[in-house]
Structures are given as structure tokens and as C-alpha cells.
């Protein structure tokens, strides 16, 4: 394949952007990271994703591709010589897609709900809902990973990327609320997986450190507060 021109528009703390970074790293694809500024949208972003105006956008040989999981699938389908990201068996693929959709539609909204919950009652309700989901994840890990190291089996795959990209924000929530969402006692499978995922060559340095994310979150909250007082 001829050398490709790959650009990624995004910001480093975005789990959605992290997904694309990890997929590109897995396939050993060189790319130019074009950092977007918070609160502003570059001309290139608006031109490349006129419908949603959102990051990430990957531009491959001048063609823009939007939406993180669609980009990850595209990467898998274009660079077929690297490690495969989607499982090869259609049923396993369907399961990986099912749980990836669960991250988007149910799990992450609940994690966010917990982080933003005001008052003990709301916090307890969100935490309970999330802990039930963590049990589902423990079970999904056993089924999808088939007793191997990752959701994708022996290697990082689609679901590892879809779910693992949120481990930074999961840790932020754990630290801020002084709780444990993944631990050796209740979710031993996930605990080992999270450790392996974060220290994988393709992931290391991509997901920002928890302290940095907390700092960023505090900055956002202060900005939002200042805006609401104006």
C-alpha cells in the first residue's frame, strides 16, 4: 500500500479521540495529530464534519471519516495487514458491537450521571445502577474474552478500545467520589483487564493521567460556574 496521509483532529483528554489513537497505534500507522482548542472549532473541523461538528475526525488521503467507532472499523478494514481489531467470527463481531453500543448508550451516560449527581440520594441511585452494569461487564468479559487477557481474546480488539478508552474517566470518578468501580474482589476479570489494557504499548501515553483529567474537569467546572454567574 502506498504511504498514506492520515490526520486526526481531536483533543487528548477525549476518550472518543483516544479510541482512534489506540486503533492507529495498534496498526502502527503514523498520523498527524491536529489538536483542537477547547471551546473553539477549527475551520478544518467544521468543513470535515459539517453535520455534527464534533471530534474525532480522521482525514485519510483528504477524505474525512467521523464518529469514533466508525473510524475504528474503517481503520481495521483499510489496514488489513496489521493486527485485526474486530473479531473474525460474525457472532463474536456482533457481540463486540453490542457491548460497544452499550458503552455509548447506557454505561457512559450512567458514569456521567454519577459524576454529576447532586445530593446523596441521586448519587446512591446512580452508583447502584452503575455497579449493576459493572457486574454485567464482568460477565461480558468472561464471555467475549473467553478466559484470555482482553475482550478481544489474546489481543486488544474493538470492544477493548470502545470500553477501555473510558478508563481514564472511570478513574476520575473513582477518585473524586472515593469509590471503587473496578476492584479485585468484585470484578477480578475487569481489574486484570484494565491493568493490562492501560499498560499495553498501543495505549500507554494515550489515555491521560487521572490527575491531569481531574485538573481539567475542575477548570471546566470553574468556567461553567463563571459563565452561569455572568
Site for a second copy in 13-72 (CB under 8 A): 51, 60, 63, 65-67, 70-71
Out of 1, 2, 37, 91, the only residue in the binding site for a second copy (CB under 8 A) is: 91
Cis before 57 (ω within 30): no
**Residue (100 or 127) nearer to a second copy, CB:** 100
Q: Point out which span in 90-98, 112-120, 121-129, 177-185 binds a second copy (CB under 8 A).
A: 90-98
Q: Point out which span in 88-96, 185-193, 196-204, 221-229 binds a second copy (CB under 8 A).
A: 88-96
35 φ/ψ angles, rounded to the nearest 5 degrees: -75, 125
State the Cα–Cα distance between residues 109 and 58, nearest whole angstrom. Answer: 25
Helices (H) and strands (E) in the chain, counts: 10, 4
**Residue (35 or 104) nearer to a second copy, CB:** 104
Distances (CA, A) of 132 to 76, 104, 178, 186: 32, 16, 18, 11
- Angle separating helix axes 90-102 and 120-145, nearest 10 degrees: 170
Q: What is the nearest approach in angstroms of a second copy to the Cβ of residue 224? A: 25
Q: Point out which span in 28-36, 85-93, 167-175, 185-193 binds a second copy (CB under 8 A).
A: 85-93
What would the x/- binding string for a second copy be over residues 94 to 133, using CB under 8 A?
Answer: x--xx--xx-------------------------------
DSSP state, residue 150 = B
Q: What is the nearest approach in angstroms of a second copy to the Cβ of residue 74? A: 4
8 Å CB contact between 191 and 182 = yes
**Residue (70 or 122) nearer to a second copy, CB:** 70
Other CB atoms within a 10 A radius of the CB of residue 206 amount to 21
Asked if 74 interacts with a second copy (CB under 8 A), we say yes
State the Cα–Cα distance between residues 106 and 7, nearest whole angstrom. Answer: 30
- Chain positions contacting a second copy, by CB under 8 A: 51, 60, 63, 65-67, 70-71, 73-74, 77-78, 90-91, 93-94, 97-98, 101-102, 136
Amino acid at each position: 500500500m502506498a504511504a498514506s496521509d492520515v490526520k486526526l483532529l481531536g483533543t487528548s483528554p477525549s476518550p472518543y479521540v483516544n479510541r482512534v489513537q489506540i486503533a492507529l497505534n495498534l496498526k502502527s500507522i503514523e498520523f498527524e495529530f491536529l489538536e483542537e482548542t477547547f471551546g473553539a472549532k477549527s475551520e478544518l473541523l467544521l468543513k470535515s464534519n459539517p453535520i455534527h461538528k464534533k471530534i474525532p475526525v480522521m482525514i485519510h488521503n483528504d477524505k474525512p471519516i467521523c464518529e469514533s467507532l466508525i473510524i475504528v472499523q474503517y481503520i481495521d478494514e483499510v489496514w488489513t495487514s496489521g493486527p485485526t481489531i474486530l473479531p473474525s467470527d460474525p457472532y463474536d463481531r456482533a457481540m463486540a458491537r453490542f457491548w460497544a453500543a452499550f458503552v455509548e448508550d447506557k454505561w457512559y451516560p450512567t458514569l456521567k450521571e454519577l459524576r454529576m449527581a447532586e445530593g446523596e440520594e441521586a448519587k446512591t441511585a446512580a452508583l447502584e445502577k452503575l455497579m449493576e452494569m459493572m457486574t454485567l461487564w464482568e460477565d461480558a468479559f468472561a464471555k467475549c474474552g473467553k478466559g484470555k487477557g482482553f475482550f478481544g481474546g489474546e489481543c486488544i480488539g474493538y470492544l477493548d478500545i470502545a470500553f477501555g478508552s473510558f478508563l481514564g474517566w472511570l478513574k476520575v470518578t473513582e477518585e473524586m467520589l472515593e469509590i471503587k468501580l473496578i476492584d479485585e474482589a468484585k470484578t477480578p476479570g475487569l481489574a486484570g483487564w484494565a491493568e493490562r489494557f492501560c499498560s499495553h504499548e498501543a495505549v500507554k501515553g494515550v489515555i491521560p493521567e487521572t490527575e491531569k483529567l481531574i485538573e481539567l474537569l475542575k477548570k471546566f467546572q470553574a468556567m461553567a460556574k463563571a459563565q452561569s454567574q455572568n
